[in-house]
Structure 1
Amino acid sequence: MRSILIGLTAASLLGGIAYAQTAETTTTETFVAVQPTDVLSYNLIDLDVTNDASETIGEIKDVVIADGKLNGFIMSVGGFLGMGDHYVMVSPSAVKITYLENEKKWTAVMNATKEELEKAPEFKYEGRFER
């Protein structure tokens, strides 16, 4: 009986080793380096967004992450001193973010008018997104 148990144990160990040698291994990066061209979210929050005519059309208030990727910017449009703000979500590809090296500041430009943004579907900070 003892030799049967030893044999079964040895067979299962050898089978596990053989499986381990043939099983595919996947690696995911846990740590990555920030690149000089990357943008940190704190550089974007409260950043004024202008249009091509250099008119301020809104302000970035939040970033939306979906499936680990940037999905949009929540922009505040209209209002005064935080009262009566209208929030909309815009595609990241619609906003050109640039760092002006000489001026040491970030800029955001979007091809839209304030009126177009005010007519866009409203985003509300409620439910799971309530502040």
Structure 2
Amino acid sequence: MKRANLYLAAALGMSALGGALVLPAAPSLAQGTTQRIATTKVDVANVATGHRSSKIVGAKVVNDQNDTVGTVDDLIISQKDSVPYAILSVGGFLGVGDRLVAVPYSALQVTDDRVELPGGNKDVLMKQPAFHYAKS
């Protein structure tokens, strides 16, 4: 999970700011070669002040009235458009009877000690389409 969080953080930083990245060769490339991906320069000082996925996943999500509406179960970047989504666990008790729903990460207001979904309502979230992980 920590490796996935590292990859997610790197992908979020790369998609937000761009950066030069050299990856190991894909299996279809000759052994010992590298593939260079041209992007823009990364402002590492700015990235360092961002929010770590390891601190967000598992965090309680509250609305603007400070009512708990769920917890962050996961962060996913869509393959189609590279948009980050927060997967929220809503309802249930201790993981039993909960429902996973996807919300755009941009809908959240994240600070060092709080994850807020302004206007969030547990009942409305429970009526959203359930999120299911793709089989891989």
**TM-score computed with the length of structure 2 as normaliser:** 0.62
Question: Within the alignment, does 1:62 sit opposite 2:69 as a pair?
Answer: no
The structure with the largest alpha-carbon Rg is 1
Deviations 1:34-61 (A, max 9, x none): 5343111001011000011110000001
CA RMSD of aligned residues (A): 2.4
| Whole-Å separation in 1 of the counterparts to 2:132 and 2:121 | 21
The Cα of 1:85 is off from its aligned counterpart by: 1.2
Q: Which sections of structure 2, spanning at least 5 residues, go unmatched? A: 1-36
Percent of residue pairs identical = 32
Name segments (4+ residues, structure 1) moved above 3 Å: 26-32, 67-70
Question: Within the alignment, does 1:40 sit opposite 2:56 as a pair?
Answer: no
Question: Within the alignment, does 1:117 sit opposite 2:125 as a pair?
Answer: yes
| Whole-Å separation in 2 of the counterparts to 1:29 and 1:56 | 39
- Partner of residue 95, structure 1: 108
- Partner of residue 73, structure 1: 86
Q: Which sections of structure 1, spanning at least 5 residues, go unmatched? A: 1-25, 100-105
Question: Within the alignment, does 1:108 sit opposite 2:78 as a pair?
Answer: no
Q: Which amino acid aligns with 1:72?
A: Y
The Cα of 1:115 is off from its aligned counterpart by: 0.3
- Partner of residue 39, structure 2: 28
**TM-score computed with the length of structure 1 as normaliser:** 0.64
- How many residue pairs match? The answer is 97
